[in-house]
Structure 1
Amino acid sequence: MGIGNIFKAFQPKDKVFFVLFEKVASTLVEMSKEFHDGMLEFDLNDDRLLKRMSDYEHQMDDLTHEIFIQLGENFITPFDREDINMLASGLDDIADYMYASAKYIYLYKTPPTKEFSEFSLLIYKCCIEIQSALKNLKGFHNPAEVKESCIKINSYENIADDVLSQGLVRLFESDDPINIIKIKDVLEYLEVVTDKAEDVANTIESIIIKYA
């Protein structure tokens, strides 16, 4: 490696990582918006929503892979390598479970319930706050705004717990055991998406505590 390349390798790469995280956040917002819109106007016979979720999930995989490549190529990072790894993986998990939720809705031929759209709205709100938190994380100039977004995400996750509980109570009042099993499975996948969003919020909060 030439002296110029060595010098370049040791330069800060804040822009590279933050640009990638902003792309990830933007993709999650777009994905969750389409998912929510799809739940509001759900048509089991139209699988375009599932195909779009699959496309977004692949985009997220590519972006996550690029973040890991940058970790391997650069010695200096804007914050701990372990935190970057955890944050990238956590963001990817949100997309994975969102896609899984859509997939099982179609595979099970699950009749939509009001809880589906309630969950999808909470997921969308979580992704908007993740986008805001990552934007304000850049340069560590706005820690208060980052923490506020994380608090909102935690609040949405708590609401999601209630949506799950109430949905299960209502579901178990029905007399169709097969339908109960299918819808329960989907509701639990949807709730996991909000759990993953809360995990990301916790990771971002830990980064702020270390560096802000």
Structure 2
Amino acid sequence: MGIGNIFQVFQPKDKIFFVLFEKVTENLVAMSNDFNQGLQDFDLNDDSMLKKMSDYEHKNDEITHEIFVELGKNFITPFDREDIHELASGLDDIADYIYSSAKYIYLYKSPQQKAYTEFSLLIQKACVEIQHAFQNMKGFKNMKQVKEACIKINSIENIADDLLSNSMAELFETHDAINIIKVSSVLNYLEIVTDKAEDVANAIENILIKYA
């Protein structure tokens, strides 16, 4: 069945999935914006940023739960049920790891690193591209824009890989074992966020291939 035929049977109740995915991506963009800004203005004695990240993470959990509930209620879905589940889980992972990154910065009392803000900017850009991808998936009318967003996310993940490698090399030059343990742990959490964003992009690309 071609894309046009698929979306002829795309009924109003089916559109709930795109509505919920829009809510998730809006939450992720807001979360990543505040995370990036919070790290730029970082104060270890002010945990307001961490509280914000916790609130965003809980909100994401709630929307993800709504998606799973709707998945159990609705027979008609915009694409395969397992794809919806994979996307919802992947988006939830992004929120989880952003929150974990913030949490361990505070728990470890990790000194601020330039790499933290470099990662947070990459994360923010990846979340924006994920939002763009979902905005253009409606009806599969703007597949080119969806593909371009996915390509940008993959590129961001590659940049994050290099940033992790370079940051770890610089970190080991400090010869400060305790600091190395703390900072490397945070850096790994930050890099995983971009991995999870790439997972979402790959899932979206697989959907495009399946219904092309």
For normalisation by structure 1, the TM-score amounts to 0.94
Number of the residue aligned with 1:15 = 15
**Retained in 2: the 8 A contact 1:153–1:201?**
yes
2:168 counterpart of 1:165: no
Q: Which runs of 4+ in 1 moved over 2 A?
A: 10-14
- Pairwise CA RMSD: 1.1
5+ residue gaps, structure 2, are: 1-9
Structure 2 partner of 1:130: 130
1:137–1:208 CA contact under 8 A, matched in 2: no
Q: Is the 8 A contact 1:12 1:77 kept in 2?
A: no
The CA distance in 1 between the partners of 2:83 and 2:12, in whole Å, is 16
In structure 2, the partner of 1:117 is 117
Q: Give the Cα separation in 2 of the matches to 1:108 and 1:19.
A: 38
Alignment partners' CA distance in 1, 2:162 and 2:197: 16
Q: Quote how far apart the aligned CAs of 1:211 are.
A: 1.7
Alignment pair present for 1:77 and 2:77: yes
Shift of 1:13: 3.3
Which residue is equivalent to 2:39? 39
Q: Show the counterpart of 2:7.
A: none
Q: Indicate conservation of the 8 Å contact 1:157/1:195, yes or no.
A: yes
Does 2:93 align with 1:93? yes
Question: Is this contact kept in 1: 2:14–2:74, CA < 8 A?
Answer: no
Shift of 1:116: 0.1
Q: TM-score, normalised by structure 2?
A: 0.94
Q: What is the percentage of aligned positions where both structures have the same residue?
A: 69
Could you tell me whether the CA contact under 8 Å between 1:122 and 1:160 is conserved in 2?
A: yes
Structure 1, gaps ≥5 residues long: 1-9
Alpha-carbon contact 1:12-1:78 (below 8 Å) kept? no
Instruction: Provide the rounded CA distance (Å) in 2 between the counterparts of 1:93 and 1:41.
Output: 25
